[in-house]
Amino acid sequence: SGAGWISKTGEYALKNVNGLGFTERIVLDSPGLVEVRCRRRNEQGSNNARDNMYWQALRGRLLTRPSSYAGVTLMGVTVETGGKLAAQSDRRVNVVATRVYDSGVARSISGALMHVGNSLGLQMDTEAIGVLESTYWTPDGEYFDFATGDSISALEMLQKITNAGKSYFLLSDGLASAGREGVKPWTGIITPHEMTEELQTGFTAPSDDDYDGVDVTYINGITWAEETVQCRTSDNPTPVKIEDYKLDGVLSRDRAYQTGMRRLMKYLQQRETYQTTTELDALCYNVGDRIILTDDIPDSATTISCLVESLSTVNGVTTMTVSEPLNWTYPNPRALIR
């Protein structure tokens, strides 16, 4: 030894042509950072030697270790294997872990949204998210089960979470919120008096470029393998153009099929579009809101669009003056005021 180095020498002279392995254990006087260098003292082939030597690995054994780490979840595993030479796969342990959220129930879609949003410092729309959880996600058994090691954007992750619950992510009044796809009550009304341009109606005719089938790829919660569920209509079992859609966070085949059929119905049924321009009225609504559009045809068989010019209240009765005469002969007449 010298200059701080401690040398340990050994000799292996077994007369055996088979592959052999040796383990050297060195006990340090005190714990610390050490540097190890290994070399062969004799040349290959000297003294009738026919061996090839390889340094396989260097490992350190921790005699004492902390029982916990701040902010890290630990798990202790004891693995028993046979006496034969083990493959690398024997040292791997498959774990199905469930994340415990600080706010929200484990595996819940609302809990995942709140966890990601709070970690980013976003102002979350807790009321709207809570209503979706209690009305749709929990009763329908919809959960978000997803693990990733890739670097993705926060927006992409929030969209993955909401997609697992047949919903979409949006910003509402400066709050991070979510909306549910499907039939919903109307939110408001836009009349020709609020439109700065005429209402335009568009129609898209069916063509060969339209998707008439959807294949959804998801992770099966039992086999943990990627599987594909085919979404077809009864009148078209062999579609021509098929969309390949990957659904993350869903482990149920039924949920994947429901999501795929929703996408297929959009391609087959959504043909009409309505376009107009307003000054500020459109800012009152969010993406996905259901809005009533009225016409300005005089004496229409369905609606009458007019403006409230003035109102007065006497003895608890409010009288409004409107710009157009109202037809109270409509069946079940109703007045929508905004």
Question: Taking Cα atoms as reference points, which of 100, 164, 177, 174 lies closest to residue 136?
Answer: 164
Q: pLDDT band at residue 123, thresholds of 50, 70 and 90?
A: very high
Same domain as 225, residue 171: no
Q: 121, 146, 180 — which closes off a domain?
A: 180
Range scoring the smallest mean pLDDT among 71-85, 186-200, 212-226: 71-85
| % of the chain exceeding 90 in pLDDT | 47
Whichever domain contains 249, its CATH number is 3.30.1920
Helix, strand or coil, per DSSP, at residue 51: coil
Domain C-terminal end among 224, 244, 270: 270
225 inside domain = yes
Domain boundary among 252, 270, 288: 270
Q: At 116, is the pLDDT very low, low, confident or very high (cuts 50, 70, 90)?
A: very high
Q: How many domains does the chain have?
A: 2
- Looking at beta carbons, which pairs linking 71-74 to residues 24 or more positions away fall under 8 Å? 73/97
- If pLDDT is split at 50, 70 and 90, which confidence band does 30 have? confident
Instruction: Look at residue 20 and tell me if it is in a domain.
Output: no
Cα–Cα distance, 11 to 20 (Å, whole number): 13
Which residues are 230's β-sheet partners?
215
Residue 310 in contact with residue 321, Cβ under 8 Å?
A: yes
Mapped onto helix, strand or coil, the DSSP state of residue 70 is: coil
Task: Look up residue 304 and give its two tokens.
Answer: 């009458």
pLDDT tier at 205, thresholds 50, 70, 90? very high
- Mean pLDDT (the chain) is 87
How much is the pLDDT for 263? 96
Task: Of 120, 206, 212, give the one whose Cα is nearest residue 161.
Answer: 120
Q: Is the domain of 169 the same as that of 115?
A: yes
The CA-atom distances, in angstroms, between 206 and each of 43, 91, 170, 236, 328 are 79, 56, 30, 14, 41
pLDDT at 185 over 70: yes
Of 64 and 164, the one with more pLDDT: 164
pLDDT higher than 90, residue 78 = no
Paired strand residues for 214: 231, 243
Residue 294: other Cβ atoms inside 10 A? 20
**Segment 212-245, tens digit of pLDDT:** 999 999 999 999 999 999 999 999 999 999 999 9
pLDDT at 4: 76
- Quick one: pLDDT at residue 49? 62
**Residue 330 backbone dihedrals phi, psi, to 5 degrees:** -60, 145
Please state the rounded mean pLDDT for residues 180-206. Answer: 89
- Position 3 in a domain: no
- Considering only 77-86, 163-172, 281-290, which range has the smallest mean pLDDT? 77-86
What's residue 146's pLDDT? 94
* Judgement on whether residues 116 and 173 belong to the same structural domain of the protein: yes
Domain assignment present for residue 261? The answer is: yes
Contacts by 125-128 with C-beta closer than 8 Å and gap 24+? 125/172, 125/173, 125/175, 125/176, 125/177, 125/178, 128/172, 128/175, 128/177, 128/178, 128/179
Q: Is the pLDDT of residue 27 over 60?
A: yes
211 and 266, same structural domain?
Answer: yes
Residue 175 lies inside a defined structural domain of this protein: yes
Question: Is the pLDDT assigned to residue 133 strictly greater than 50?
Answer: yes
pLDDT at 81 over 80: no
Supply the pLDDT for residue 34: 83
**Domain residue limits at 173:** 109-180
pLDDT surpasses 80 at 139: yes
Q: Enumerate the H helices of the chain as residue ranges.
A: 109-120, 126-132, 154-163, 253-269
Residue 28 domain flag: no
Q: How confident is the model at residue 159 (pLDDT cuts 50, 70, 90)?
A: very high
Q: How confident is the model at residue 149 (pLDDT cuts 50, 70, 90)?
A: confident
Residues 167 and 118 in one domain: yes
Residues 6+ apart with CB under 8 A from 208: 240, 241
174 shares its domain with 114: yes
Q: How confident is the model at residue 41 (pLDDT cuts 50, 70, 90)?
A: confident
pLDDT at 186 over 70: yes
Kindly state whether residue 255 falls inside one of the protein's structural domains: yes
Q: What is the pLDDT of residue 1?
A: 42
**231 domain-assigned:** yes
- Do 319 and 311 touch, CB atoms closer than 8 A? yes
Both tokens of residue 56? 């396989």
User: In this structure, are 175 and 221 located in the same domain?
Assistant: no
Q: How confident is the model at residue 183 (pLDDT cuts 50, 70, 90)?
A: confident
